[in-house]
Amino acid sequence: MKLYTRTGDDGTTGLIGGGRVPKDHVRVSAYGEIDELNAVLGWCGCAAEEARVQRLQHAQHQLFAIGAELATTPGNTARPSFVPIEDAEVERLESWIDESTDHVPPLRNFILPGGSEGGARLHVARSVCRRAERAVITLASSEEVRPVIIHYLNRLSDLLFAWARETNHNQSQPEIPWEPTHPQT
């Protein structure tokens, strides 16, 4: 089987369950942002310890399910070939956040993204996650999106922030507080 089909050469793409939409359709943008986030999580795994890699991969599987759901024709009642995420996945992320924040000092101010290689990658993933969340919210303003998807993305970005802080803490990388500066006169 060839990788290319040429069916998208006209600027459209097919949805799961049938139908075609322009490649710049709000639905395609939403699941495209999810795909980018999934790739960034894979990149984060390249600089993470094994236990974190397993959790990153778990999140990647959930993002694939979210992407598949968003790529499905609205109103398609056929049984999906994937298991849609449920509230239990949001709760899992919350438990991971609580676990991670127990290992770092309380946050007292805004911090600059960065630190160690792994911490910086997680900060990038957090910002990509927020962008994906915004794209899904934009889609939800015009088409039905299950609220659990937005909840999951919101919590995932919090988790990525917590993991960035924990990674930097574990590698003795100090957090750099944001200090508002005033123009010199």
For the chain, the residue count is 185
pLDDT of residue 74: 79
**Cα–Cα distance for residue pair 162/179, rounded to 1 Å:** 21
Reported as a pLDDT band with limits 50, 70 and 90, residue 182 is low
**Cα–Cα distance for residue pair 176/168, rounded to 1 Å:** 11
Residue 28's alpha-carbon distances to 63, 83, 152, 154, in angstroms, are 15, 20, 19, 20
**Cα–Cα distance for residue pair 63/25, rounded to 1 Å:** 20
- Quick: pLDDT tens for 13-64: 998 888 899 899 999 999 999 999 999 999 999 999 999 999 999 999 999 9
Percent of the chain scoring above 90 in pLDDT: 78
Domain boundaries, the chain: 23-74+81-104+111-170
Under CATH, domain 23-74+81-104+111-170 is a member of which superfamily?
A: Cobalamin adenosyltransferase-like (1.20.1200.10)
pLDDT (average), residues 61-85: 87
pLDDT (average), residues 160-178: 96
Q: Is the pLDDT of residue 75 over 70?
A: yes
Whole-number mean pLDDT of the chain?
93
pLDDT of residue 5: 87
Reported as a pLDDT band with limits 50, 70 and 90, residue 185 is low
**Cα–Cα distance for residue pair 59/9, rounded to 1 Å:** 32
- Gap between the terminal Cα atoms of the chain: 66
Q: Is the pLDDT of residue 81 over 80?
A: no
